Amino acid sequence: MKKLLSFLFIVVSFSSFAQAEYKKKVSMLGSPFEITVVAKDSIEGNYFTDLAISEVKRIENQISDWIPTTQISLVNKNAGIQAVKVDSEVFDLVTRAIKISEITDGAFDISYASMDKIWKFDGSMKTMPTEEAIKKSVAKIGYKNIILNQQDQSIFLKFEGMKLGLGGIGQGYIADKVKDKLLANGCLSGIVNVSGDINAWGKQSNQKPWTVGIVNPMNKNKVFATFPLENSSVETSGNYEKYVMFNGIRYSHIIDPRTGYPAQGVVSVSVFAKQTEIADALATGIFVLGVEVGLDLVNQLKGIECIIVDDKGKIHSSCLLYTSDAADE
């Protein structure tokens, strides 16, 4: 269920008035990271952007499951053996992730990292996995088997071979923390993009709101909607080009952690929320839940809006947003 995000789906519209806007783009977490800040001069601008990169590195060294020395990696190594005490920041993030799992009925699940990689979306897959193989691939997944001990701030994975992967919520969390760090250090306006997880605060140097454009997944050269981001965030999940076809059925690269089968019927989900962490996790969950169930969920959540593009190109939106046909744009 690894979430693949890219700039193909989110385009940030920056002010053409370059006055005191400073941008830095680097590769971090194995993905593009971009920060733009409004500052009085280049010295302050570089200070803010360097501070942002430092904060990303700090969090990466806590929650990445690819770095063997992180607390999450230690939890994974001790799966089925013993509980691991972690910092409150890590414990609280995992706690919130489990709450999103509960809200989405397991469509979002940070134990998805336990999944056997039986689906291939690089063109090499010629036959569909057997039902038995698919069932086995998700045998170790299950957020209910993540045991949290509030008293000693420890995490225990119930079964050997279980793994946590915070990629589906961690990038959004990083975007939020970068914003908080910069605000606390006097940066009153900026926009951070962690591989498609976007959080904006304040205004551009020309006093206009930061703006994002949602790219039509059926036609990457066209933007079907633009939205101002004022002290809020957006995240888009999906990749229309990454799929396999068997017996005339299109299978997305995003896997339902409950069944082991790829999600169907949706090609793109954009979620708007005050916190990027929430938008990040919900986007994956909604993609798996599908149009009807996903929209029903969002319409029950205060302060959350979303746009879903289905595999026919039709745009579906939550109560406060419009609907139309992406294929017609």
Q: Give residue-wise pLDDT tens across range 223-246.
A: 878 889 999 999 998 866 678 888
Is residue 1 assigned to a domain? Answer: no
Are 32 and 109 part of one and the same domain?
no
User: Is residue 215 very low, low, confident or very high in pLDDT (cuts 50, 70, 90)?
Assistant: confident
85: domain CATH number?
1.10.3980.10
pLDDT at site 324? 44
Are 285 and 190 part of one and the same domain?
yes
Residue where a domain terminates, one of 136, 167, 198: 167
**pTM metric for this prediction:** 0.89
Are 183 and 270 part of one and the same domain?
yes
Is residue 2 assigned to a domain? Answer: no
User: Is residue 29 very low, low, confident or very high in pLDDT (cuts 50, 70, 90)?
Assistant: low
14 pLDDT exceeds 60?
Answer: no
Are 160 and 172 part of one and the same domain?
no
Which residues, listed in sequence order, are joined to residue 37 by a DSSP beta bridge? 22, 190
Q: Which is more confidently placed, 305 or 27?
A: 305
The residue range of the domain holding 130 is 71-167
User: Is residue 19 very low, low, confident or very high in pLDDT (cuts 50, 70, 90)?
Assistant: low
Neighbours of 1 (CB within 10 A): 28
Q: What is the mean pLDDT of residues 260-275?
A: 94
Which of 272, 47, 68 minimizes the C-alpha distance to 172? 272
266: domain CATH number?
3.10.520.10
Could you give the CA distance from residue 160 to residue 76 in angstroms, rounded to a whole number? 9
Q: For the ranges 155-164, 200-209, 250-259, 277-286, which has the lowest average pLDDT? A: 250-259
Could you give the CA distance from residue 119 to residue 97 in angstroms, rounded to a whole number? 25
User: Is residue 153 very low, low, confident or very high in pLDDT (cuts 50, 70, 90)?
Assistant: very high
Could you give the CA distance from residue 35 to residue 26 in angstroms, rounded to a whole number? 9
Are 122 and 88 part of one and the same domain?
yes
307 pLDDT exceeds 90?
Answer: yes
Q: For the ranges 105-109, 142-146, 164-168, 236-240, which has the lowest average pLDDT? A: 236-240
pLDDT at site 240? 67
Which of 60, 19, 17, 59 minimizes the C-alpha distance to 38? 19
pLDDT at site 2? 38
Neighbours of 61 (CB within 10 A): 12
User: Is residue 326 very low, low, confident or very high in pLDDT (cuts 50, 70, 90)?
Assistant: very low
